[in-house]
Structure 1
Amino acid sequence: MSGTPFVARRHFILGAAGAGTLAGLGGRATGAAEGATRLPDYVSWKDPETLIVHSPRTLEMKRDAFGSSGVTPADQLYIRNNLPAPDARIVQDRDAWEVSFEGVRNPRSMTLGELRQLGVESVAAVLQCSGNGRAFFDHQASGTQWTVGAAGNLFWSGVPLRRVAEALGGVADGRRFITARGGEALPDGIDPNTVMVERSVPLAALDRALLAWEMNGSPVPLAHGGPLRLVLPGYYGINNVKYVKRLAFTEQESEAAIQRTGYRVRPVGQRGAPDQPSMWEMAVKSWVTHPLRETENGPVQILGVAFGGDKALRRVEVSTDGGTNWREARLLGPDLGRFAWRPFALQAELPAGSHLVASRATDAEGNTQPETFPPNERGYAHNGWRDHAVEVTVG
């Protein structure tokens, strides 16, 4: 996939972000006349200056809002909800929230209050929507036209799922998947499998799975899955089920449509099917966050974020000439662990003119971001460095 056609499109995106819209790419022109984005009521506590409202259930963090501290503030984190959030009353007494545990030797329901007594661990991990980068494909994939802002790096705290399984006698024999169902209200009169959020991941994820009640040091907000959310570091966001209400160790994957046919990677024009790859583990990825369009003559500080996906990050390289030459960037701040991202920086001298500034990351096993990424029907998993590059003009 050639990067040339995307330069003008990318330039438009960056310019439009200042107005808080992506109207030309399928977004909603919200609040442009006032110069600020109007947020839906359930996320009115977020910072409107840092977000793009695509729809009431899809909000994207602006590319220039990514900081260099490594942790994404809750009030800037993107929103992607497949169903409307439950009634806010569920977070009035968080400890009363109940989860049904199945596929263990002693199945039962437990309250959040009981789960707190089983232990607590914390992990820093990237949360990223499967469609992050969809806007860079040229086949007009359906769904929100995310650029880079459907991702964040967060601290999660809660009880490890393995501790819960141990407390309930261990995982039953023959179970191959962890299957989690959200507690959203479902419409009456239709088959629940067609709309409910229930996802299955391989049982191997048990060693990292967390039932999280805290995000960045505060109770998980309702908009992000509170009072209790399944967190699977290294896995795409759809698997990190919000408002988790049922947690089962199962022999087969869920029969819900969101598992059987949704979030499946397939060629453009094909329908989703259970035999296609599922959106599970994330791949290595990075993108530049500064500068984005124009800068003055002199030294330029190039900033961005990078992560290894399911694996640890090894290094990040930056090119200021569209990929002809690369220099290794400096990773900023402390290493927050295998599943977290690292901000990076590189000081460069850019002469007057236009420059295509790109970054490419490499994980601990030597996997490097590809230059291009083949299109797929739903526009998932794009990590090609050329389409994520930015055109910077030096005056």
Structure 2
Amino acid sequence: MNIQTQVKRRHFLIGSAGTMAAAAVGGSVTAQNATDPLPEYVAWKDPDDFIIHSKQTLETKRAVQGTELITPSDELYIRNNLPAPSEDIVADRDTWEIEINGVANPGKMTVGDMKTLGVETVVCVLQCSGNGRAFFDHETSGSQWSVGAAGNVVWTGVPVRAVIEAMGGADADAVFLTGTGGEEIPDGLPPETIQVERSVPKAAMDQAILAWEMNGEPLPLAHGGPLRLVIPGYYGVNNVKYIKRLAMTVEESPNKIQQTSYRVRPVGEKGDPSQPSMYEMVVKSWITGPLMDAATGKVQIHGVAMGGVSGLDKIEVSTDGGQNWAEAQFLGPDLGPYAWRPFVMITELSEGTHMLASRATNEAGDSQPETFPPNERGYGNNGWRAHAVDVTVS
């Protein structure tokens, strides 16, 4: 069996009326009917744009991603480890209070206080650790994301470094930046087993912000409002929603989500603190079209690419399963090293089946590999072959 038959890809039929199936738009099988209403806390989003895995996991359909530079808030995926808190917490946003520890002068600060310390805006990709999980051949637990657990978002808030400085500076022996979420813990469950609390290397403080706006509007409850920790270049789990505590710590959080969850380990092994944690994202890209109608002749192939923690250097596209590559063109302005960039290539597609693939390279010299090794939870998949699409032109 050759490698092309070992990975799961989506097959699309284009070029004749009536050939577009529901799977072509979603890139996956929906867990609910498309006509089912969305959960109340995300009722402002359009259900037609999403694959509904559960009440707390909504995947943006591949075709919806298109060539947009910034992902509209109503098209951004949802991944919540716990149910969203009550809408009451966004009734008076400036009074939301967080505790600051591991500093010279520990104490509490409101969002209103933070707005007097400084404001920064950063554009960065928000991406679930399991984005691409559905393409692994081995069985994995968790939502079977294809490519839709990612979006490019504009965040505005106060730099974490400004908050720490205002509290007298970090403790000299601090090694980690630790954020604690404000979701309600169900009765009878020890908090450490379920509470969202993540520790990241202290160096992340240099680019981290506490965000109160998303895409120029008050941060929605569904995405962590009234205040969320945003760490550009880091996987979504580290971007703690409803943040209630920020601390400079000597040790990592003792919580399960830090110690054993979100660890990259061989298939069949349990998670433990010695294994790599899902911190920095890697270079990645995928095709977002054509997935529907096209004709023989010139076709516009488009998609999105991200460099992880480094800016993008180039993006290449193949129409023959990786035998030949041609450099594509980035669209729009470069919004920084943590943002994604849409790309396009115009080429000829003859009648028949073509495997369309993309391969990004960042400024650090890292390129997408052809395949990504399996791991127990299906994290971090950036293999270009698995993300390719087979398109039949008729």
Q: What is the TM-score of this pair, normalised by structure 2? A: 0.95
**2:306 — aligned with what?**
307
- Per the TM alignment, residue 22 of structure 1 is displaced from its structure 2 partner at its CA by 4.3
**2:74 — aligned with what?**
75
**Equivalent pairs, count:** 387
Counterpart-to-counterpart distance in 1, 2:287 and 2:10: 13
Counterpart-to-counterpart distance in 2, 1:94 and 1:267: 43
Counterpart-to-counterpart distance in 2, 1:15 and 1:232: 38
**1:335 — aligned with what?**
334
**1:178 — aligned with what?**
177
**1:359 — aligned with what?**
358
Among 30, 33, 56, the residue aligned to 2:33 = 30
Contact 2:50 2:60 in 1 (8 A): yes
Counterpart-to-counterpart distance in 1, 2:100 and 2:152: 28
Contact 2:351 2:393 in 1 (8 A): yes
Contact 1:139 1:375 in 2 (8 A): yes
**1:385 — aligned with what?**
384
The residue type paired with residue 140 of structure 1 is E
- Per the TM alignment, residue 394 of structure 1 is displaced from its structure 2 partner at its CA by 1.1
Contact 1:103 1:171 in 2 (8 A): yes
Counterpart-to-counterpart distance in 2, 1:291 and 1:45: 28
Deviations 1:281-307 (A, max 9, x none): 000000000012553111000000001
The residue type paired with residue 46 of structure 1 is K
Residues 19 and 280 from structure 1, CA distance in 2 versus in 1: closer, same or farther, beyond 3 angstroms? closer
| Aligned positions of 1:27-66 closer than 5 A | 27-31=30-34, 36-66=35-65
Counterpart-to-counterpart distance in 1, 2:293 and 2:384: 20
Counterpart-to-counterpart distance in 2, 1:372 and 1:21: 19
| Aligned positions of 1:215-230 closer than 5 A | 215-230=214-229
The residue type paired with residue 72 of structure 1 is T
- Per the TM alignment, residue 191 of structure 1 is displaced from its structure 2 partner at its CA by 1.2
- Per the TM alignment, residue 28 of structure 1 is displaced from its structure 2 partner at its CA by 1.4
The residue type paired with residue 351 of structure 1 is S
- Per the TM alignment, residue 149 of structure 1 is displaced from its structure 2 partner at its CA by 0.2
Residues 5 and 16 from structure 1, CA distance in 2 versus in 1: closer, same or farther, beyond 3 angstroms? farther
Residues 318 and 206 from structure 1, CA distance in 2 versus in 1: closer, same or farther, beyond 3 angstroms? same
Counterpart-to-counterpart distance in 1, 2:67 and 2:76: 15
**2:160 — aligned with what?**
161
| Aligned positions of 1:201-212 closer than 5 A | 201-212=200-211
**1:2 — aligned with what?**
3
- Per the TM alignment, residue 312 of structure 1 is displaced from its structure 2 partner at its CA by 0.9
Counterpart-to-counterpart distance in 2, 1:40 and 1:199: 26
Aligned to 1:325, the other structure's residue is in SS state: coil
Contact 2:154 2:216 in 1 (8 A): yes
- Per the TM alignment, residue 157 of structure 1 is displaced from its structure 2 partner at its CA by 0.2
Q: Give the RMSD, CA atoms, in angstroms.
A: 1.6
Contact 2:138 2:374 in 1 (8 A): yes
Counterpart-to-counterpart distance in 2, 1:271 and 1:12: 37
| Aligned positions of 1:134-153 closer than 5 A | 134-153=133-152
- Per the TM alignment, residue 20 of structure 1 is displaced from its structure 2 partner at its CA by 6.2
Q: Which structure 1 segments of 5+ residues have no match?
A: none
Contact 1:179 1:199 in 2 (8 A): yes
The residue type paired with residue 55 of structure 1 is S
Counterpart-to-counterpart distance in 1, 2:319 and 2:353: 10
Aligned to 2:285, the other structure's residue is in SS state: strand
Counterpart-to-counterpart distance in 2, 1:102 and 1:279: 24
Bigger RCO (CA 8 Å, 6+ sep): 2
